[in-house]
Structure 1
Amino acid sequence: MKYITLLLLTTALIISCSNEDEKILNEADYKNYLKTNNSKEIAKAEKELSFWNERIKKDSIQLIELSKSAGMQTKIFQLNASIEQLKNAEKNLTRSALVTNIGKDGKLLALAQNYITQHRFKEAKALVDSARIVAGGEIKAINLVAFDVAMELGDYENAEKILTKETDFSDYNYLIRLGKLEDYKGNLDKTIQHMEAAKAIAESSKQKGLQVWVYTNLADYYGHAGRINDAYNHYLKALAIDPSNSYAKKGIAWIAYSYENNPTEALRIIEAIEKDSKSPDYELLKSEIYESTGDEDSAKEALNNFLSRVSNPSYGDMYGAYLVEIYAGNPETSQQAITIAQKEVNNRPTPMSYDLLAHAYYGNGDYKKALSITQEHVIGKTHEPMAQFHTAQIYKALDMKNELAPIKEELLETSFELGPVTYKEIQNL
């Protein structure tokens, strides 16, 4: 079982190798952050949420109260990954969008962003299209969210056209999206260049939220580029501003696990994060780390915990990609993997979704079907190492040695991003 890292941005090929002799982490740098939590901030947000909720009557039109309540619910979700708060925010945003005539386009965009978080991308696109009609023309905020949706739906050509309309190299929101587009194209150096420009803008603005976001996402890209020390330093930069930031802590945990080969420290960091978060993600990451140490019982327990938690209907399709990976690896559930992967393709027809479908057929033993899907929808259309790994597995199963050799050579340079468990499988291809 492999943990698929959920990044706010898509990933690219890396040039990296694990080197436990080249130690980067220094516990003194982050030990105090592991003791911090966001309970006070959550309590403050919950108090404010209660304040606004008390003023909302069942059948009344109270746009300010609805918007404020949805804002607090979204904030709490961002703080502790409470899916209930995200769903409650959806309800208030839906109600607000239905009853308002003033600023309706903004309400529709807010709901679209909520849907994006829930992986309801086609519904998000419909809302963006409606917002554009209501606004009566080209609005920057609408174009930026339209770009986000187009990228998620694999409509890359249209996404680029939309972003070109908003070209402004002095704008943070433009630069981070341009970085995402270049990442999709496999231009990691350009991605980092644009993200560094966005970082400079965020630092000049002194807006903490912008700084934390760009530090953590730039850290991810540095990791993909093999610049592990730069990645580490930027996770620390984020924590210096937001000591309870779970994303930055998870990044440090991944360095401990995948680069320094220190699963004990990685698990210690993750367990500290879990005290603050309701996200099921960490159970899956723990399962992989336990697997890497040979602790099969703990790996199975963590995996079962993950599966139990994501069975909550409120999650919808948010964990479909994870489930395909898990179920495809077991002959008894491989057909279930195909069903989920087909749904992923329908919801989000990107090369990575088709890769999941091909992987599901591979897990079911239908190697020729897997190859057909990969050749038509994956090869040459994504630079993701996981997709390359799945392609290599198919080549191996079909004894396509000439095709396998070059892709295996490239995959041997992705140890940091894919992690020790997958890297062992690559070595055995």
Structure 2
Amino acid sequence: MIFGIITSCKKTEIYKITEAKEYNEYLRLKSNITRDNLNLRLEFWNKKLKEDSTRIVALGPIAKVYTKLFQTTGEIEYLKKAEQTLKKSVEIAAIGKENYLLALARNYISQHMFIEAEKVAERALQIGVNKKQSEMVMFDIAMELGKYTNAKKYLESFANQEDYNFLIRLAKWNDYKGNLDATIRNMEKAKSIAEGSKKGELMLWSYTNLADYYGHAGRVKDSYDHYLKALEIDPANAYAKKGIAWIIYSYEYNPTEALRIINTITQEYQSPDYALFKVEIAEYQNNQEAKEKNLKNYFQTVTDTRYGDMYNSYNAMIRAEEFNDYDGALEIAIQEIKNRPTPQSYGLLAYILNLKGDHKKALGIVESHIIGKTYEPEVYYQIAQIYKTNQLIDKIAPIKKELLSSSYELGPLLTNKIQNL
């Protein structure tokens, strides 16, 4: 799923929509200023905390700074430090404990510790204060755990077509249901509310998420424009730059320029995701040396135990596809199902079983845990492969047609594999 056997990239016409002069200025801008400002804030609040180690008023801001540092740098240590600070806040808070519990739940979500997130969010909900905030976080967690009936219940409990937080979650719900038009419509309404509020963080979140949805819908120019809008607010935003790099790679078929952008990001922003992007580009360029180098860099990073289970699905797929370590991959896939029993997790398990040769068992998982429960194109590629090995040829054609319509989202490597189904 991450890498494919590169043969040739067939595209009758390439439409160029990006302009280097539009994003180059953001590539030159560094996050040092942001990081320095955050460190100054951290120093200020740590000084307050040293004066009184139980000073709850300092713990909240310290956790927020650590979280922002993680978002700015991608360095896992800051996310873990935020977790430690929030745990201490929960322990000593006499008033407003529910706010610290919800912040800790969000931290756990970022770490893919969804079961732990559910436990602390339930504690916040039981307190009864800020019920709406608690229900929104419970919705987020339910979606990650595949508890879609619960998620719908929570969504209905705070329904309000004029509320930003409801609309972004309604968009996520419609995306899960496979209704991309409704997803975009609700996200556009949320964007308008964010722009009316003039709140930079809401606008930034709206632009990057809407850019993603536009990409899924094949509206690549709209996607590009919204990544640029995001960079106008936060010139150092790695996610938006990565989005532009994907457009250049997957839509314009220019891996050299995409790699240039990724390399500028990784000078300051450290995340295993970017090593995997470099691996895919290297394979597309048929550069085995670069591929192996970046795979090595990826594994050196994720062996840090602080990442926990955050990269389970990637690790399992790489072990199976690149190294034929099916037993090791299955062990990780089973753990991922324990962590989040979603159709995507079952798809991972079924796909690896199929690669191992357990075709009937893989098909059974598809029929009992996946069909009709997700519309993710990556999962349907896995289903198509399982149908193929089980000689269910008639079922492949409609899936193949649908997958090829998502070729931009899936990328050229996987598109080549789909063409060969």
Shorter-chain TM band: over 0.9
CA pair 134-207 structure 1, distance change in 2 beyond 3 A:
same
Distance 1:133 1:413 in 2: 45
For the pair 1:360 / 2:380, whether they are aligned, the reply is no
Distance 2:324 2:16 in 1: 41
CA distance in 2, matches of 1:20, 1:302: 31
Secondary structure (helix, strand or coil) at the match of 1:278 reads coil
**For the structure 1 residues 19 and 284, does the alpha-carbon distance in structure 2 shift closer, same or farther, using more than 3 Å as the test?**
farther
Match of 2:91 in 1: 98
In structure 1, the partner of 2:380 is 388
Residue 2 of structure 2: aligned partner: 2
Aligned partners of 1:274 and 1:75: how far apart in 2? 17
Distance 1:134 1:24, change over 3 A: same
Name the structure 2 match of 1:10: none
Structure number with higher relative contact order (C-alpha < 8 Å, ≥ 6 residues apart): 1
What is the CA distance between 1:378 and its match in structure 2? Answer: 0.8
Within 2, Cα distance between the matches of 1:250 and 1:141?
31
- Corresponding residue for 1:220? 212
Q: Please report the RMSD computed on the Cα atoms of aligned residues, expressed in angstroms.
A: 1.7
Partners of 2:350 and 2:417 in 1: CA distance: 18
Which structure has the highest helix share of the two? 2
CA distance in 2, matches of 1:123, 1:195: 29
Kept after mapping to 2: 8 A contact 1:3/1:284: no
1:28 corresponds to: 21
What is the deviation of 1:227? 0.5
Pick from 230, 242, 253: which aligns with 1:250? 242
- Name the CA shift for 1:18/1:380 in 2 (closer, same or farther; >3 Å): farther
| Equivalent pair of 1:125/1:146 in contact (CA under 8 Å) | yes
Alignment-mate amino acid for residue 152 of structure 2: E
Does residue 1:287 correspond to 2:279, yes or no?
A: yes
Find the counterpart in structure 2 of residue 116 from structure 1: 109
Q: Secondary structure at the match of 1:276?
A: coil
Alignment correspondent of 2:7:
none
Residue identity opposite 1:130 in structure 2: R
Match of 2:194?
Answer: 202
1:64-84 CA distance string (max 9 Å, x none) = 121121111111011111110
1:161 corresponds in structure 2 to: 153
Please tell me whether the aligned partners of residues 168 and 190 of structure 2 are also in contact (alpha carbons under 8 angstroms): yes
Tell me the CA shift for residue 58 of structure 1: 10
The separation in 2 between residues aligned to 1:339 and 1:57, in whole angstroms, is 44
CA distance in 2 between counterparts of 1:19 and 1:42 reads: 45
User: How far apart are the structure 2 equivalents of 1:58 and 1:316?
Assistant: 34
Q: How many residue pairs were aligned?
A: 416
Alignment of 1:40-59 (within 5 A): 40-57=33-50
SS at match of 1:55: helix
Are 1:3 and 1:285, in contact at CA under 8 Å, matched by a contact in 2?
A: no
Distance 2:52 2:198 in 1: 41
| Alignment partner, residue 269 of structure 1 | 261
Whole-angstrom distance in 1 between the partners of 2:3 and 2:323: 19
Q: 1:25 to 1:367 in 2, by over 3 A?
A: same
Q: 2:224 aligns with which of 217, 232, 238?
A: 232
Separation in 1 of the partners of 2:101 and 2:405?
44
Quote how far apart the aligned CAs of 1:55 are: 3.3
Whole-angstrom distance in 2 between the partners of 1:196 and 1:59: 46
Give the ranges of 4+ consecutive aligned residues of structure 1 lying more than 3 Å apart after TM superposition: 17-20, 57-60
Q: Is the 8 A contact 1:331 1:364 kept in 2?
A: no
1:311 equivalent in structure 2:
303
1:57-68 matches, within 5 Å, as 57=50, 60-68=53-61
Residue by residue over 1:237-261, the C-alpha shift from the partner in whole angstroms, topping out at 9 and shown as x without a partner, is 1111111111111010000000000
| TM-superposed deviation, 1:19 | 6.5
